Structure 1
Amino acid sequence: MPKTWNIKIDNYFQANPNCIIATAHVDSFPTDLPLEPNIREPNRKSATYRQVFDSLTTEPEKFFSRHSGIVLSANIAKPVKNKTELELEILEANEGGSDGIINGGHTVLAFEQAKNYKYDLTQARVKVTIHIGLTEESAKDIALASNTTTPVDSRSKVNARGDYKFLKQYLAQLEQKEDRKFRIAYYQNQSGAPRNAQCNVTHLLKLLYCLDRNKYNPDGNQRTKHPAGMSLPSNITDAERERLTALLPLLSQALWIEQRLYEIIQDHISNPRRKGANDLASIDIRKTTLLPDSKYSFGFGAPTDLALPIIASYRVFLDKDYKWILPFNEFAEDFLQHLWNNYFRKYLVSEKTAGNTVGTKISRNQEIWESLYISAQSYLNHHLVKMVNSSKKEEESKVTQGTKGRVQAGKK
């Protein structure tokens, strides 16, 4: 059953058959309208919110002339009570709609807070534009086009266009299949999602890109030898979605590699050679890190891209169809320990000794990506040689046993 909200007004006019513009009373304005069409959630700490709140509470009678107004979407909007109110019927997402606040979330939050602090808002008015019967796509298109005083990050715009839908659906299936819960921020100021950079949806995409052995192949002719300093697209095209969909089955392994690396680092700093000392560059023991899988939290801060070069080295073990050449569970742990002990730990220690920080530089350091990739190739070749030698020995053993059997049979 659709919900209804009433907005008290001084006057209104029908801008077109599907749009009403009204002068609304702030003191009775509903502050529980859904934020579904909005591309980000309001943030009390933002400059936008503070400016709206200050303008509203210091000179409420001038608020109408100083504010650009609120934009809403409703399934139905009609005047009631002798045209002193507008009644809005709102269809939310679970009812197949996308109605609510398209633009003005910070403004409505300021109304709510001002009421809580008992400010007199009886003289305050605000312009309200109400679009009627919009499709979800149209509502989000208006939300994206609306002028905002605070820049909207590209991730929020990609999410508003629905470009992450395929990823959300895959994660929902993964949660159910593997009994796990993900904490991913798809847009700006998303409530319930941590601000930790590793939980940003763009970080998940980077994990996948690192395993794209077809796009990033040092043995190929393309210029992109490694995913060092990769830039994410501002919109996900059909071709890009197809590529990412092919990589999605590798997401669990990418998350595992990152999680195991962090566990190894946790063990290392928990048992330092010198008590109280941390010899790893850019590992901050005063902070904490959350990973996308909600089971994993660590008692140190680390650069967001720390695990990317290591994850990227695993693409050596993939064929052109993104299938593992060797069973992942058979080599993954041993290979990670190999990289940590023979290269990565030494790299972090040497940077710390030199007084350097790794930070985002690690994602642009071609030398690291190249060294880990070569190390992975060497490890794979060594492993394959052992497998071939083992097979030869088995064959020789079978031949020897067969010969002995025939000899014994001949003696009888």
Structure 2
Amino acid sequence: MPKICAIKIDNHLKVSSNCIVATAHVADFPVDLPLEPNIREPNRKSGTYRQIFDSLTTEPEEFFARHSGIVLSANQVKVSKDKLELEILEASEGGSNGIINGGHTILAFKTAKNYDYNLAQARVKVTIHIGLEEKQAKDIALASNTSAPVDSRSKKNARGDYDFIKQYLAGLEMELGIKFRIAYYQNQSGTPVNAHCNVNHLFKLVNCLDRNRYNPENLRSKHPTSLSSTTKITGVEKERLIKLLPLLPQALWIEQKFYEVIQEYITNPKRKGGNDLASIDLRKNTLLPDSRYSFGFGAPADLVMPVVASFRAFLDKDYQWILPFEEFALELIRHLWDNYYRKYLISEKTAGNSIGARLSRNIDIWETMYISALTYSNRYLMNKHKLLNQENLVLSPNTKKQK
């Protein structure tokens, strides 16, 4: 059922057959419009919101002159002398109507009304686009001038760049019976403000397993030390990521198990009350994208990346594991932790360093971890081959005896 929203106005101008600009009353402005076309959710803590709220509540009569206005999308608009009636179709009804630009402004309207501010003199310019398709609404949202920068993640989400990973995760949720908490755009409600739950974190994890792009034999890109996201996911990049996505469940598992190893280490009674690991904060928590896991310490989101990248030693050129993953994965994590990574974190803490940005720039860490995993892989395969030969030697006499 379409939603009908009435906007009280002083005057209006029909710019074209599908666009109306009007001077609207703030006191009567509807504050429950859908946010579908917008590319980010408003944030009460942002400077943008506070400036709008202060301007509105201290000098409401000057608000029209000081504010750039609100942009809306509607399926249809019925115009009368002092009122506009907007027919709003939400996404579930096949529409893309609501707030294109001005989410912070309308949130300020709502808050001011809740606190009974006198808004009788306040006016705001409102631009209403009629009958837009979803892509057109998103294009206008991206092009709208905002008083605060929109991050690249929000822009990519608005363009639909993340649709392929959303579809993959939806299938994974059904298969595994879990729910992922992933933030695809700025100030997204219902997701933690945590770098581990940022969609870019998922791309970093699978990028670390691209053994074809990041190969120690390739001098230009030996290791995935630069994990910053691109401003746009191209067709070629999307194809590459789609090939890597089947490795995402294992990458998330590695991250979870690695954090369990850290949790076990810092809660060891022998070290109770102390923490000798760099950038591990016992006053914070870490939430992983899989909603089942959280840990009682804070850690940089990139902390696990060299560990995940080391697993390339067990992948072939078709991104297939050369051994059953469950056979070696946990042992490899403990091997890397005990033989190198724990010692590295302790040495950095002793030196008074944090490892956030330094981690990605330190090629020696990535190199040492990968070589350690490769050595472990070779030794594991040799031992397995030796064991198989011993079994064959035991079986051979019995086979001859039966003959």
TM tier, smaller = over 0.9
Larger Rg: 1
Q: What SS class does the counterpart of residue 213 from structure 1 fall into?
A: coil
Cα distance in 1 for partners of 2:59, 2:114 equals 17
Question: After the TM superposition, which segments of 4 or more aligned residues of structure 1 sit over 6 Å from their partners?
Answer: none
Residue 286 of structure 1: aligned partner: 283
Deviations 1:176-205 (A, max 9, x none): 110111111111111111101111111111
Query: What aligned pairs does 1:221-236 form with structure 2 within 5 A after superposition?
Result: 221=218, 223-236=220-233
Query: What aligned pairs does 1:9-408 form with structure 2 within 5 A after superposition?
Result: 9-80=9-80, 83-219=81-217, 221=218, 223-271=220-268, 273-406=270-403
Cα distance in 2 for partners of 1:275, 1:67 equals 55
Residue 409 of structure 1: aligned partner: none
1:192 partner letter: G
Deviations 1:351-394 (A, max 9, x none): 11222211221122111110111011111111111122122223
2:342 partner letter: R
Cα distance in 2 for partners of 1:342, 1:400 equals 42
Give, in angstroms, the shift of residue 334 of structure 1. Answer: 0.8
* Contact 2:10-2:25 at 8 Å conserved across structures: yes
2:79 partner letter: P
Structure 2, gaps ≥5 residues long: none
1:98 partner letter: S
Q: What SS class does the counterpart of residue 307 from structure 1 fall into?
A: helix
* Contact 2:215-2:222 at 8 Å conserved across structures: yes
Q: 395-404 vs 137-146, which deviates more?
A: 395-404
* Contact 1:272-1:278 at 8 Å conserved across structures: no
Q: What SS class does the counterpart of residue 22 from structure 1 fall into?
A: strand
TM-score, normalization by structure 2: 0.98
Give, in angstroms, the shift of residue 305 of structure 1. Answer: 0.3
Deviations 1:229-253 (A, max 9, x none): 2221111111111111111111111
TM-score, normalization by structure 1: 0.96
Cα distance in 1 for partners of 2:209, 2:58 equals 55
Cα distance in 1 for partners of 2:272, 2:235 equals 53
Give, in angstroms, the shift of residue 222 of structure 1. Answer: 5.5
Cα distance in 1 for partners of 2:372, 2:213 equals 20
Give, in angstroms, the shift of residue 36 of structure 1. Answer: 0.5
Q: What SS class does the counterpart of residue 395 from structure 1 fall into?
A: helix
Cα distance in 1 for partners of 2:82, 2:378 equals 79
2:290 partner letter: D
Cα distance in 1 for partners of 2:60, 2:351 equals 58
- Number of corresponding residues: 403
* Contact 2:73-2:132 at 8 Å conserved across structures: yes
2:18 partner letter: N
Cα distance in 2 for partners of 1:177, 1:402 equals 45
Cα distance in 1 for partners of 2:158, 2:116 equals 35
Give, in angstroms, the shift of residue 274 of structure 1. Answer: 3.8
1:332 partner letter: A
Cα distance in 1 for partners of 2:54, 2:350 equals 49
1:371 partner letter: T
* Contact 1:304-1:360 at 8 Å conserved across structures: no
Cα distance in 2 for partners of 1:148, 1:233 equals 22
Cα distance in 2 for partners of 1:129, 1:331 equals 60
1:35 partner letter: L
With over 3 angstroms needed to count, the CA separation of the structure-2 counterparts of 1:27 and 1:265, relative to structure 1, is same
Cα distance in 2 for partners of 1:274, 1:51 equals 48
1:63 partner letter: F
Structure 1, gaps ≥5 residues long: 407-412
Q: 391-400 vs 100-109, which deviates more?
A: 391-400
Q: What SS class does the counterpart of residue 182 from structure 1 fall into?
A: coil
Q: What SS class does the counterpart of residue 15 from structure 1 fall into?
A: strand
Cα distance in 2 for partners of 1:130, 1:358 equals 49
* Contact 2:266-2:272 at 8 Å conserved across structures: no
Give, in angstroms, the shift of residue 403 of structure 1. Answer: 3.4
Cα distance in 2 for partners of 1:232, 1:118 equals 44
2:210 partner letter: D
Cα distance in 2 for partners of 1:324, 1:262 equals 23
Deviations 1:297-327 (A, max 9, x none): 1110101100000000001111111111100
* Contact 1:303-1:360 at 8 Å conserved across structures: no
* Contact 1:281-1:352 at 8 Å conserved across structures: yes
Give, in angstroms, the shift of residue 175 of structure 1. Answer: 0.9
Cα distance in 2 for partners of 1:123, 1:357 equals 53
Give, in angstroms, the shift of residue 272 of structure 1. Answer: 5.0
Give, in angstroms, the shift of residue 154 of structure 1. Answer: 0.6
Cα distance in 2 for partners of 1:329, 1:380 equals 14
Give, in angstroms, the shift of residue 107 of structure 1. Answer: 0.6
Cα distance in 2 for partners of 1:176, 1:92 equals 25
1:55 partner letter: S
Give, in angstroms, the shift of residue 279 of structure 1. Answer: 1.1
Residue 3 of structure 2: aligned partner: 3
Q: What SS class does the counterpart of residue 78 from structure 2 fall into?
A: strand
